Amino acid sequence: MKNKNIYTVFVFGLVLLLSSCQSFQELEVNPNVPVSSPPNLVLNAVQNSFNERPWGKETRWNQFYTINYNYYGNNEYDWTTSGTYFDALKNVIKMEEEAKKVTGKDLNPYSALGKFFKAYFFVWMTQRLGDLPMNDALKGTENMTPKYNSQKEVYLQSLKWLDEANDDMGKLIASGDVFFQGDIYLGNNLRQWQKVVNTFKLRVLVSLSKKESDADLNIKTRFAEVLNNPTKFPIMASMSDNLAYKYNNTYNKYPLNPDNFGFDATRQQMSSTNIDILKSIQDPRIFYIAEPAEAQIKKGLAQTDFAAFVGASPAESLDDMSTKALNGQYSFINRNRYYRNYTPENTIQIGYIEMCFNIAEALNRGWAAGTAEEWYVKGIQASQGFFDIKNGDNTVVLETRNGANASSASYTVKFNWADFYAQAAVKYAGNNAKGLEQILTQKYLGFFMNSGMEAFYNWRRTGYPANFAKGGPGTGNSGVIPRRWLYPNSERIYNETNYKVSVQSQFGKASESVNDELWILK
């Protein structure tokens, strides 16, 4: 009995010990960190990570506006290292994993979207940097020293992902398996996303125009395939198909809004790059984005006189710019449009306007059969339509300044499309160099405050618009516009061997520079 009691006590003590160990282990688990996440929540996080917001440094580098007060910044191309999307890519992979758990299928809407996001993020990074860790970086294990893939390999894989995303979406739509949640852009509409995928593919192909003869990339055939088979490769048909970031007046306010009016309304004026183009062709878009310069009004010019609008050159020194701005010599942002409420406009990430000009450019280059002028006209009209410009009378609201005082008034601006298009500078000159310049110049205007740095990338690739400031005391970097960004410092520290191999392979030297030329631009 005595031994039995000892055994009983031992077992009871062992049970207590095991129980206490189990409780301790349970305490080690943080209940606030989920072991799994619904794919719709991960999708929401992924989508929020690639909002290219307007009115920041990036759009200054696009030369749409300039800043005149150095306390708030400058107009210098002062970038060094680039950010990356590798954290977002981890979320993409997590989304794919969770979707497979939930659906029990490899093919599902989240997996199809995942392929698009992989392509989008890698294209975004390679446009800035060049070669990238890709294959090793996506193996799913922590690897601090992934090898780099060449920029060409990055583009080939991205195009493959886009084709697979389109095919997968087509299969899901045909089967009716299109249900997913968490989409903040297109309301969980897979058909709309399929249009985005193929429209983005056209952007990627056009961005590779200097490699149009590369047999592996096969750019011309790929582009023509999309245009010639709209059933398999649906693309955007109107502005309603845009992938656009939407703002609200509570939690997600437009970057310029009544709250920060006093902070920056007089610190930012329009750039001569886009204002001069709009003035030269008497384009009414100017009345919606800018205000007339105070000094011009004092000279007796009407508020709706195109000559009353003056942009500041990004090449100008900040001291000169600041003095002239204080003297009322420049046109400021249209405060009525951009400061009167919290949601003046959605920010297009991938859109119909750009697509029209991408198609026009490709047709001008002879990549496919079709009429470049048709798409060129569609692009201009869609961009003007974004500001609700129509034939006949248009009402514009402009604020005019008189020192510290300002007043706003409505004006009627007459617009006639036929007369506008008949101008030699606007009417398409044909599939030649002049026609290409017209397409690229109008594409630049269509990028106003949308699509991230695509306006800069297009200038970097083509040299248009021709009046893009190419350097000067106000641009920094010894008066030279940089061609790329530097790799993150973490690559030099933790992945030194592969980093050095890539830099030597790309640029033929041991160290990199922001002035180095990327493979896609050679």
Give the mean pLDDT of 192-219.
98
With cut-offs at 50, 70 and 90, classify the pLDDT of residue 14.
very low
pLDDT digits (tens, 9 = 90+) for 359-378: 999 999 999 999 999 999 99
With cut-offs at 50, 70 and 90, classify the pLDDT of residue 357.
very high
With cut-offs at 50, 70 and 90, classify the pLDDT of residue 3.
very low
Q: Is the pLDDT of residue 190 over 70?
A: yes
Counted residue by residue, the chain has a size of 522
* Confidence at residue 404, expressed as pLDDT on a 0 to 100 scale: 61
Q: Is the pLDDT of residue 7 over 60?
A: no
With cut-offs at 50, 70 and 90, classify the pLDDT of residue 400.
confident
Give the mean pLDDT of 434-443.
98
Looking at the fold, whether 286 and 432 belong to one and the same domain comes out as yes
Looking at the fold, whether 393 and 495 belong to one and the same domain comes out as no
Q: Is the pLDDT of residue 199 over 70?
A: yes
* Confidence at residue 264, expressed as pLDDT on a 0 to 100 scale: 59
* Confidence at residue 70, expressed as pLDDT on a 0 to 100 scale: 84
Looking at the fold, whether 270 and 416 belong to one and the same domain comes out as yes
Q: Is the pLDDT of residue 26 over 60?
A: no
Cis preceding-peptide flag for 258 (omega within 30 of 0): no
* Confidence at residue 16, expressed as pLDDT on a 0 to 100 scale: 35
Tell me the three state secondary structure of residue 395. strand
Quick check: is 470 in a domain?
no
* Confidence at residue 251, expressed as pLDDT on a 0 to 100 scale: 86
Q: Tell me which amino acid residue 93 is.
A: I
- How many other β-carbons are positioned within 10 Å of the β-carbon of residue 160? 13
| Lowest pLDDT segment from 17-21, 131-135, 495-499 | 17-21
If you search the block for the tokens 């107009």, which residue do you land on? 75
Looking at the fold, whether 370 and 487 belong to one and the same domain comes out as no
Give the mean pLDDT of 382-398.
97
Quick check: is 476 in a domain?
no
Looking at the fold, whether 227 and 261 belong to one and the same domain comes out as no
> Taking the mean position of all CA atoms in its chain, how far away is CA 261?
25
Q: What pairs with residue 245 in β-bridges?
A: 347
Looking at the fold, whether 308 and 418 belong to one and the same domain comes out as yes
> Taking the mean position of all CA atoms in its chain, how far away is CA 139?
27
Looking at the fold, whether 507 and 387 belong to one and the same domain comes out as no
Looking at the fold, whether 284 and 366 belong to one and the same domain comes out as yes
d(CA 241, CA 346): 13
Angle at 483 between CA 245 and CA 480, to 5 degrees: 115
pLDDT digits (tens, 9 = 90+) for 29-49: 455 545 568 999 999 999 998
The DSSP call for residue 70 is: T
What does the block give as tokens for 15? 């049970």
Quick check: is 429 in a domain?
yes
Task: Output the DSSP codes for 46-64.
Answer: HHHHT---SSSHHHHHTTS
| Lowest pLDDT segment from 125-139, 140-154, 155-169, 431-445 | 140-154
* Confidence at residue 442, expressed as pLDDT on a 0 to 100 scale: 98
* Confidence at residue 403, expressed as pLDDT on a 0 to 100 scale: 62
Q: How many domains does the chain have?
A: 3
Quick check: is 74 in a domain?
no
With cut-offs at 50, 70 and 90, classify the pLDDT of residue 241.
very high
Quick check: is 467 in a domain?
no
Instruction: Return the CA Rg of the chain.
Output: 27
Quick check: is 6 in a domain?
yes
SS (H, E, C) 426-442: CCCCCCCHHHHHHHHHH
Quick check: is 279 in a domain?
yes
* Confidence at residue 109, expressed as pLDDT on a 0 to 100 scale: 98
Looking at the fold, whether 315 and 167 belong to one and the same domain comes out as no
Domain boundary among 423, 442, 458: 458
Q: Is the pLDDT of residue 226 over 70?
A: yes
* Confidence at residue 262, expressed as pLDDT on a 0 to 100 scale: 66
The CATH code of the domain that includes 368 is 1.20.120.840
The CATH code of the domain that includes 139 is 1.25.40.390
Half-sphere exposure for 347 (CA within 13 Å, toward CB):
26
Give the mean pLDDT of 321-334.
94
d(CA 395, CA 337): 12
The mean pLDDT of the chain is 91
d(CA 254, CA 341): 9
d(CA 357, CA 373): 10
Looking at the fold, whether 448 and 517 belong to one and the same domain comes out as no
Percent of the chain past pLDDT 70, that is, above it, reads: 91
Give the mean pLDDT of 4-17.
33
* Confidence at residue 12, expressed as pLDDT on a 0 to 100 scale: 34
Q: Which residue range forms the structural domain that includes residue 302?
A: 256-458
Quick check: is 251 in a domain?
no
Domain boundary among 425, 441, 458: 458
| Lowest pLDDT segment from 90-99, 142-151, 354-363 | 142-151
Q: Is the pLDDT of residue 11 over 50?
A: no
Looking at the fold, whether 377 and 411 belong to one and the same domain comes out as yes
Looking at the fold, whether 229 and 276 belong to one and the same domain comes out as no
Report strand pairing: 243-245 vs 347-350: antiparallel
